[in-house]
Chain A
Amino acid sequence: MTAKKFWSWLAVFVAAFYFIVPLLATLEFSMRMRRGTYSFDAYRSVFADDRFASTFSYSVVMALITIVVGALLIVPTAYWVRLRMPYLRPVVEFVTLLPLVVPAIVIIFGYLRLYNSSSWLPLTNTDMGANALLVFGFMTMSLPYMYRAVDTAMRTIDVAVLTEAAESLGASWPTILFRCIFPNVLTGVLSGAFITFAIAVGEFTMPSLLNRPAFGPYLALIGANKAYEPPALAMIAFAMTWVSIILINITTRLQKGAAGAR
């Protein structure tokens, strides 16, 4: 028993060393900007750059649009498949898992070929079109997580009974969807939403190849041109990841609590 404990502690300590040293090093490096002393100058410089705010808010807006459009697409689909077309479930599940098989860079490569300026649907010609493509790209990337989260939440409610009850009380389809189904799967939508957010805000490949002014390409640009700002940005990104993981944990706990209470 003591040997087992010894090895367990050893494993945890070795892992802790590997995980904490890069964080300490990043923090230390980010504070080296002023010669001879530690300071937060690099952070000041990061926040003073207008492009930090503009690219970050652009990415946040795109992520939020992705979440809303994604939820409006996924929830009705998952609902409909459960209610009316259970025989399609394997197919739909297979399709939602495809983005794990096809890397993001390949998907965006396909977009650039199918929707470029000389194609039948020249989405890359206008800013709005390119933004739309980016949102669709984010939606595709988050599809496996969003669909699973919503579908898991839907498993705990009986969609057929809820629908019949609402129908017999005279509810219309929009009422059923938005006032019965959505509130019941909200925790699933939320945990899918945070994962989508974490994916979309820092994503580099898609916005970079679509030439969008997003946060990921900005980070890469800073990385290529500055010395002390990149580690400062890495620390900020790490803090933001931490916050979204805490939010995911809270919502999944709420979800488990709701499922347990049933």
Chain B
Amino acid sequence: MAATQPLLNRRLITDWLGIAPFAIFAVMFLIAPTVYLVSGAFVDPNGNLTLQNLIDLFQPNILAAYVISIKISAASAIGGAIIGFALAAAISLGGLPSWVRSAVLTFCGVASNFAGVPLAFAFLATLGRLGLLTIVLRDVFGFNLYGAGFNLLSFLGLTLTYMYFQIPLMVLIITPALDGLKREWSEAASVLGATSWQYWRMVVIPILWPSVFGTLLLLFANAFGAVATAVALTGSSLNIVPIVLFAQIRGDVLHNPNLGYAVAFGMVVITGISNFIYIWLRMRAERWQK
């Protein structure tokens, strides 16, 4: 017994040595920075524990930033999810030629990665004051977009822009789930005399809702954390959370470092909750995809 004990320990030590590089990396460059900010949100500049920073998040300009960020993220996620679902259903169940399906999927792969600064440029060239669509609407259809109150640097403009990567992401995630609907299920339903509405309501929706709702949350978190598009599109003229945080990191515009940590903490809480529910729902949904 005494002889085997050190041997066991040595094996245990090599086991942990093998995982050590990853553990050190994860702690230094992922966990520690996050923990540092999160704990910083709960202390005042002198190091005393406080909830004041979190309470200060509710001052009008920061609260407004959160509200508009949540509105834009929710609108672009819901819009992206509805249109993306329609598109995915069309290519998966609509009986379209197979080249349409592969063309749509390949394009979605590209467009879901086409975010950041270039996406902002593309929408400025489309719907900016001198954008093609703005000019065509004005000269051909006699409709003055900006005269009608539209502004690309607004809730509607940013939502339209974000949907350019939200819709493809929805298509890419939900198409496999739609493909997973077994033909037997619809046949069984119609043999039993179900209308196609009943089939959707009593079979498809109960099976798909975890995937759809989960993806909706993923899209929400995705839009909420998008910094580059917002910064490139609006400069700092629109008051949304990523821009506030970006400015705060650049130059302490809130005049309180700990309040900055609290803004970051608020972001992590919101993206964290939506991602955790997404991952949980995804595990639920995978039961049906085997």
Q: Which A residues are within 8 Å of any B CB, using their own CB?
A: 1, 4-5, 7-9, 11-12, 14-15, 18-19, 21-26, 28-30, 73-74, 76-77, 80-81, 84-85, 88, 92, 95, 97-114, 136-137, 139-140, 143, 198, 202-205, 209, 216, 219-220, 223-224, 230-231, 233-234, 237-238, 241-242, 244-246, 248-249
Stretch at the interface among B102-110, B142-150, B201-209: B102-110
Stretch at the interface among B1-9, B18-26, B180-188: B18-26
Do the beta carbons of B125 and A29 come within 8 Å of each other? Answer: yes
Do the beta carbons of A77 and B264 come within 8 Å of each other? Answer: no
Do the beta carbons of A11 and B245 come within 8 Å of each other? Answer: no
Give the total of B residues in contact with A, Cβ under 8 Å. Answer: 77
Residues of B within 8 A of A24 (CB): 132
Q: What does DSSP make chain B's interface, helix, strand, loop or mixed?
A: helix
From residue A212, how far is it (CB to closest CB) to chain B in Å?
A: 14
17 extra interchain contacts, Cβ-Cβ under 8 A, other than A22-B122, A204-B232?
Answer: A4-B95, A5-B94, A21-B126, A25-B133, A80-B18, A81-B19, A100-B221, A102-B272, A105-B242, A107-B30, A109-B249, A113-B36, A209-B246, A220-B232, A238-B122, A245-B106, A248-B109
Q: What does DSSP make chain A's interface, helix, strand, loop or mixed?
A: helix
Of all chain B residues, the one with the shortest Cβ separation from A240 is B118
What is the bound-complex CA distance between A238 and B124, given in angstroms? Answer: 15
Residues of B within 8 A of A101 (CB): 221, 268, 271-272, 275-276
Do the beta carbons of B121 and A234 come within 8 Å of each other? Answer: yes
Q: For the complex, is B228 an interface residue (Cβ under 8 Å from A)?
A: yes
What is the bound-complex CA distance between A137 and B29, given in angstroms? Answer: 7
Do the beta carbons of A231 and B125 come within 8 Å of each other? Answer: yes
From residue A145, how far is it (CB to closest CB) to chain B in Å?
A: 11
From residue B106, how far is it (CB to closest CB) to chain A in Å?
A: 7
Residues of A within 8 A of B279 (CB): 97
Residues of A within 8 A of B83 (CB): 14-15, 18
